[in-house]
Amino acid sequence: MAVERIRLPNGDVVVFDEWLHWPIYSTIEWAAAQGLNLRAFSYVRGSRVPAQGIAARNATSTDTNQVAKSRMNWDESYRLFSITYEPFGLTNATLSNSPSLLVAQAPQFTAANLRRLQRDLMVEFYVGADIDKPQVRAPFSYYHQGIGPVVYGNGDSPGAGIAFSHGTGGYVRWASQRRFNFPVKIGGDRVMYLKTHSAFGAVAGLTQSVRLRWYLDGVRRRPLG
């Protein structure tokens, strides 16, 4: 349980009730030909980033700002209003022409590959230990993108053998995020994680290995200390 109030020896009660807008983020990675079933928000910095089909690596501050594995810390609580994401390509994307046409150089992620993820991935958010009913469950396309670059192009190739494609989940701005009608409450020391999985094995047609950084966007009770 989060510490919310302290009774002093003279009988006075001090209430700790400061809330901050504090997005929590977590990264997962997988290879293009790999079936996907990974949990984000399940590790802290220095632990292994959840990965399938590619070499595992230790998490840095750009991968997560979790302070406890698969749960809220004991002296915190959270109100979740929105879930959003940012995709990165870990490999280049090329078209099999002769010569090959470079479509997106990592870390760019193509629009076609993003649509493939939107078609085949399911995303579920769980709160509570041994709970098999998610608080949120929807296809990947339900979660609109509110983070990342806004990219414009005229459709022309910038050079010989080079084209350009950049995938975004809608117009990237804060107002694009789908906000829940009711916030999801996550209490102190409460188990929580986000599961991303492909419905039919490997994502059909995917041509890039992927780094997907998920964000829980909401307000956090400031911890003690």
Burial classification of residue 58, based on how many CB atoms lie within 10 Å of its CB (0-12 exposed, 13-18 middle, 19 or more buried): exposed
φ, ψ (nearest 5 deg) of residue 143: -90, 110
pLDDT value at residue 7: 79
Give the residue-averaged pLDDT of 193-222.
93
End-to-end CA distance of the chain: 16
**Does the pLDDT at position 159 exceed 80?**
no
The rounded mean pLDDT for the chain is 88
pLDDT value at residue 67: 92
**Does the pLDDT at position 1 exceed 60?**
no
**Does the pLDDT at position 173 exceed 60?**
yes
How far apart are the C-alpha atoms of 135 and 166, rounded to whole Å? Answer: 31
**Does the pLDDT at position 181 exceed 80?**
yes
**Does the pLDDT at position 194 exceed 80?**
yes
In the chain, count of helices (H) and strands (E)? 1, 14
Q: Which two tokens stand for residue 102?
A: 């470079």
Of the listed ranges 36-40, 121-125, 156-160, 169-173, the one predicted with least confidence: 156-160
How far apart are the C-alpha atoms of 127 and 140, rounded to whole Å? Answer: 19
- Identify the band that residue 39 occupies on the pLDDT scale cut at 50, 70 and 90: very high
Q: Which two tokens stand for residue 220?
A: 């956090």
- Identify the band that residue 172 occupies on the pLDDT scale cut at 50, 70 and 90: confident
Give the residue-averaged pLDDT of 127-133.
90
- Identify the band that residue 135 occupies on the pLDDT scale cut at 50, 70 and 90: very high
Give the residue-averaged pLDDT of 181-191.
92
Q: Which two tokens stand for residue 34?
A: 């790999």
64 three-class SS: coil
Contacts with 200 (C-beta within 8 Å, 6 or more apart), sequence order: 120
**Does the pLDDT at position 218 exceed 70?**
yes
- Identify the band that residue 200 occupies on the pLDDT scale cut at 50, 70 and 90: confident
- Identify the band that residue 61 occupies on the pLDDT scale cut at 50, 70 and 90: very high
Bond before 87 cis per omega within 30 degrees = no
Q: Which two tokens stand for residue 169?
A: 């989940």
- Identify the band that residue 137 occupies on the pLDDT scale cut at 50, 70 and 90: very high
pLDDT value at residue 113: 95
Q: Which two tokens stand for residue 30?
A: 């997988």
224 three-class SS: coil
- Residues 10-25 as b/e (b if ≥16 CB within 10 A, e otherwise) read eeeeeeeeeeeeeebb
pLDDT value at residue 197: 97
pLDDT value at residue 95: 84
Q: Which two tokens stand for residue 149?
A: 């670059």
H helix or E strand, kind and range, residue 218: strand 210-221
Distances from the Cα of 121 to the Cα of 105, 115, 157, 198, angstroms: 23, 10, 31, 4
